[in-house]
């Protein structure tokens, strides 16, 4: 960690953190020295990226090969009508650059897959999975567990969201919690999603990343946080490491990020 003192501008900018005993100057310097890769710059990625940049994460990777569509504007808060047709990663980087010049922004116009996941996450301190499909979540989980990289992963559907933190071998991985993928849900534009739900879940993703980057622990290792904004409820369930897990169990069989077959849920 760099021992260089914060500049006068940084001291003023991050005073809210400096006043917290749990973060302070040391924690803020850790954050400025840290790197976070965000997989997906959509509903979850937009608020997560905004708070990570504001908080002073030193290097922020924005991985997404998608372009801004009009249907995204209901919930993906970094984009506007002027950005239609432009790449999400590049638009987000330009927007965040105006927010905090301390942050090195790395737009990555690429789709993560089983064949490139290990290379894409290499060198990053933390990974946030804000993708919108189960297939990507399993691949990101595999790559992070095999590389020993902390992973914060979340998902949303209609009025509900989930968040957990994977820090193998300290707790279960995504495959321990979901040994087999459930049927793939329809995308948000078809199934519907409350506009503010990604903000709630994406902010929690950023919160866990900030805590880890500052040198604190996450209380979501071994816990699955369940959010229901229709009922205004938050609850968590304990989840345990599966000794028989093919990835992180006692006799693992997965040696590289592996794609999973996901079936589309039947229509009602």
Catalytic residues: 188
Q: Tokens for 195, please give them.
A: 């506009």
In what order do the strands lie in the sheet containing 233-238?
104-108, 59-63, 35-39, 126-129, 151-157, 160-166, 223-228, 233-238
How many Å is the maximal CA-CA distance in the chain? 59
What DSSP designation does 216 have? P
Beta-sheet pairing, 233-238 with 35-39: unpaired
Q: How far is CA 220 from the centre of its chain?
A: 13
Q: Tokens for 116, please give them.
A: 């490139």
Positive or negative: CA dihedral 227, 230, 231, 232: positive
What helix, strand, coil percent values describe the chain, rounded to 5? 35, 20, 45
How far is 156 from 38, CA to CA, in rounded Å? 16
CB contact at 8 A, 188 and 75 = yes
Strand intervals (E) in the chain? 35-39, 59-63, 104-108, 126-129, 151-157, 160-166, 223-228, 233-238
How far is 46 from 41, CA to CA, in rounded Å? 6
Could you tell me which residues are beta bridge partners of residue 142?
Answer: none
Burial class from Cβ neighbours inside 10 Å (0-12, 13-18, 19+) for residue 216 reads middle
């Amino acid at each position: 960690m760099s021992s260089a003192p914060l500049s006068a501008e940084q001291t003023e900018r991050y005073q809210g953190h400096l006043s917290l005993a749990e973060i302070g100057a040391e924690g803020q310097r850790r954050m400025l020295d840290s790197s976070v890769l965000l997989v997906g710059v959509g509903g979850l990625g937009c608020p997560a990226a905004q708070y990570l940049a504001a908080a002073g994460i030193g290097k922020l990777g924005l991985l997404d090969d998608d372009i801004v569509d009009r249907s995204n504007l209901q919930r993906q808060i970094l984009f506007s009508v002027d950005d239609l047709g432009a790449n999400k990663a590049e638009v987000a980087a330009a927007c965040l650059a105006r927010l905090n010049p301390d942050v090195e922004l790395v737009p990555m116009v690429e789709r993560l897959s089983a064949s490139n996941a290990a290379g894409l996450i290499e060198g990053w301190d933390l990974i946030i999975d804000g993708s919108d499909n189960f297939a990507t979540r399993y691949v990101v989980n595999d790559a992070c567990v095999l590389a020993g990289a902390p992973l914060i992963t979340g998902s949303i559907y209609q009025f509900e969201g989930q968040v957990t933190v994977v820090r193998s071998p300290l707790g279960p991985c995504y495959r321990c919690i979901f040994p087999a993928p459930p049927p793939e849900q329809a995308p948000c534009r078809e199934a519907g999603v409350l506009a503010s739900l990604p903000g709630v879940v994406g902010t929690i993703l950023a919160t866990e990343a900030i805590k880890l980057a500052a040198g604190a622990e996450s209380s979501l290792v071994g816990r699955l946080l369940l959010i229901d904004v229709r009922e205004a409820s938050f609850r968590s369930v304990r989840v345990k490491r599966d000794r028989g897990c093919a990835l992180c169990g006692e006799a693992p069989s997965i040696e590289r990020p592996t794609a999973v077959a996901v079936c589309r849920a039947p229509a009602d």
